[in-house]
Amino acid sequence: MKKLSRKEEELMQVLWDLEKGFVKDVIEQLPDPKPHYNTVATLMKRLEEKGYLGHKEYGGTYEYYPLVGKEVYRQTLMKKVLHTFFDNSYLNLLAYFAKEEKMSAEELEQLVKMIDKENKS
């Protein structure tokens, strides 16, 4: 799976929420200042070339839809982060959040409960 730029990820977030849409629909969902139509159209074409989007054509206008689900993208991205920055160690990842992001004891307890629940399933 090819890496996405920050702007490409932003467009994918919109399309995951919309499930499908034309360039104008995507632009409407983006924060101000709105990017130019041609900029968004170019990024969407690039996302299609990378295999993230598909389209249906309606008289020269394209309606885009995601080919890669948000969860699949998240899993791929998190595996890369885990490998690149945390030596494939979930413990290192969680220690980072506990230390650098000031994860509270309550949040850690909730995490332990989630892990216990998943292991019992």
The count of other CB atoms within 10 Å of the CB of residue 88 is 10
What's the pLDDT score for residue 24?
A: 97
Q: What is the pLDDT of residues 58-77, one digit of tens each?
A: 998 999 999 999 999 999 99
Taking each continuous run of H as one helix and of E as one strand, the counts in the chain are: 6, 2
Tokens 């995601």 appear where? 66
Q: What is the pLDDT of residues 16-44, one digit of tens each?
A: 999 999 999 999 999 999 999 999 999 99
Crossing angle (nearest 10°) for helices 90-100 and 70-86: 90
- pTM: predicted TM-score of the whole model, two decimal places: 0.80
Q: Which residue has the higher pLDDT, 14 or 103?
A: 14
Whether omega before 33 lies within 30 degrees of 0, making that bond cis, reads yes
In the CATH scheme, what is the code of domain 6-66? 1.10.10.10
Whole-angstrom Cα distance, residue 104 to residue 106? 5
Whole-angstrom Cα distance, residue 87 to residue 52? 28
The model's confidence at residue 108, banded by pLDDT at 50, 70 and 90, is confident
